[in-house]
Structure 1
Amino acid sequence: MSEPIQQFVAGELPVAVYASEAEMGAAAAASAAQVIRDTVAAKGHARVVIATGNSQFAFVEALKDQDVPWSDVTAFHMDEYVGIDENHTASFRRWIRERIEEPFAPAKVEYIIGDAPDPQAAADAYEGLLREAPLDLVCMGIGENGHLAFNEPFDADFDDERWTRIITLTSESVLQQVGEGHFPDEAATPRTAISMTIPALLSATHVQVCAPEARKARAVARALSEDVSTACPATKLRESPNARLFLEPASASLLPAQA
């Protein structure tokens, strides 16, 4: 198993920096696999939420090398754009289908129906599915503006009673989607998405966050140093004793040397 080159705790959040993105992904995959095995052994089934996006590539690729009892796992995802179908190249349903359902064959995958005729009804239905039983593991990233899922700065609600909401993307999030190659330009990028809320994400028994790449360095530094507030939603991770943060040198590059 990959060993971190640096470890520290920020608030209640353990942070580990690995020598490369591949080693970070391998460590996160080993951690997730152990959580799932332990949960299945104890409860017979595990409910796992998996983020989509470029930051999760190394983690998901490394899951292929792990012993995971997928036949006892129900998988969820965090968000989906409103108005795009499941085969759109940027669809998070497609991401989960191609990178989780098809290679691993979980017992069940629950999808957010982003192109449903009534998006609010789709959000309500997904919240119902999420609340059917406790979530055992959430695997997520951090956005370039510090968002968690699509809970945007100043709009996120740390005490939200809802577990899913229709979110309006900030211009920075739109630019991130274009920059990652998901859409050709801003005009083509949806402005709304159905997203799990922060209380839903952090309700899980285990939360692990993979945040690689230099473009995430500023958000990571803010998450670990700024006051906990919705100005940078990821700061809330420091008050989440069930969470762990996995980094690599590029994403940790703006952290203080003594951290």
Structure 2
Amino acid sequence: MISQEQLTIDTLSVNIYNSEEELAVGAAQIGQKYLEDLLKRKGEAAILLATGNSQLKFLDILIKSQKIDWSRITLFHLDEYLGIKGENPASFHFYLHERVGKRIQPKAFHYLQGDALEPIAECDRYSKLLQAQPLDLCCLGVGTNGHLAFNEPQVANLNDSRLVKLVHLDGQTRWIQVNQGHFSHFDQVPQYAFTLTLPAILSAKKILCLAPGKAKAQIIQEILTRSICQTRPGSILRQHKNATLCLDRESASLL
């Protein structure tokens, strides 16, 4: 039996689980039920997926449940490094293909092309795909500086007119990629990346944000207790009408 505490901050639901494992199970149950109900009502769905360590167990449980008809689901992903090929193990394309794409048979999986020869044209191409297929569910995490996708505090725009844009990556974010073993040294981490904007993320009818671990405790406290602003991009989740933030005891320890 999974136990949890529940809070509501503005319109944001906050679930606090006893461990990271229970968080992953609980989040997967929420996502599975939502998708099952949605497919019964609509017949199809579109999901926006993220990468990162917070998503690993969650995605694995969601896929292993075998209760979701992926053939009726179109998949998108949140962000991608600029100048990196999809077969590069450090790319988000590779991450999602290995952990999701090749394990299921979705209706479609639209990947951002990190090695596009015309990056601005790639932003436009992906924006048109998003406009043609409104998002039903967004699954993502939040960074230690509060970023959602690659909407870092210095480039986040709560009222961005774009759906996809190119951004310069914060040094802290680049170091995290090294520390997590995705790149062997700092200079290998690309300086720029494609990202869906905050308005694009908030366009999803439901948002499921996973933020486990002690390293997230400080930013979670700030996101939930201080003002909603671009210096804490994750705080924008408090304005969404159907968003759930999933924490464990460590990430919720400063609340």
Q: Which runs of 5+ in 1 are unaligned?
A: none
Q: In 2 relative to 1, CA 234–39 (structure 1 residues): closer, same or farther, beyond 3 Å?
A: same
Residue 237 (1) aligns with residue 237 (2): yes
Match of 2:84?
84
Q: What is the DSSP-based 3-state SS (H/G/I as helix, E as strand, rest coil) of the residue aligned with 2:176?
A: helix
Q: Which residue of 1 aligns with 2:60?
A: 61
- State the number of aligned residues: 254
Offset at 1:66? 5.0
CA–CA distance in structure 2, aligned partners of residues 104 and 249 of structure 1 = 32
Q: SS state of the match for residue 46, structure 2?
A: strand
Q: Which residue of 2 aligns with 1:51?
A: 50
Structure 1 residue 184, shift from structure 2 partner: 1.4
- 1:182 is aligned to 182
3-state secondary structure, aligned to 1:2: coil
Q: 1:224-245: per-residue Cα shift (whole Å, max 9, x none)?
A: 1121111110111111122110
Equivalent residue, structure 2, for 1:120: 120
Match of 1:31 in 2: 30
Larger displacement relative to structure 2 (59-68 or 244-253): 59-68
Deviation sequence 1:175-195 (CA, Å, 0-9, x none): 121122111121111011110
- Indicate the larger mover: 21-30 or 57-66: 57-66
Structure 2 unaligned regions, length at least 5: none
2: CA distance, partners of 1:235 / 1:33: 25
Corresponding residue number in structure 1 for 2:103: 103
Q: Residue 13 of structure 2 aligns with which residue?
A: 14
Matched residues in 2 for 1:202 and 1:3: separation? Answer: 28
Segments of 4+ moved more than 6 angstroms: none
Q: Secondary structure at the match of 1:254?
A: coil
Q: In the alignment, what sits opposite 1:247? A: 247
Q: How high is the sequence identity, in percent, across the aligned residues?
A: 39
Q: Per-residue CA shift, 1:3-43, capped at 9, x if unaligned?
A: 31x21111111101111111111111111111111221111
CA distance in 2, matches of 1:241, 1:143: 22
Superimposed CA distance per residue, residues 129-172 of structure 1 (whole angstroms, 9 cap, x where no aligned partner): 01103210000100111000000103211111110000111111
Distance 1:234 1:184 in 2: 28
Q: Distance in 1 between matches of 2:219 and 2:179?
A: 16
The residue number in structure 2 matching 1:93 is 93
Cα root mean square deviation, aligned: 1.1
What SS does the aligned partner of 2:54 have? helix
Instruction: Give the match's secondary structure for 1:204.
Output: coil
Alpha-carbon shift at residue 44 of structure 1 (Å): 1.2
In 1, the alpha carbon distance for the partners of 2:59 and 2:2 equals: 16
Normalised to the residue count of structure 1, the TM-score between the two structures is 0.95
Alpha carbons 1:210, 1:246 under 8 Å: kept: yes
Q: TM-score, normalised by structure 2?
A: 0.96
Report SS of the residue matched to 1:131.
Answer: helix
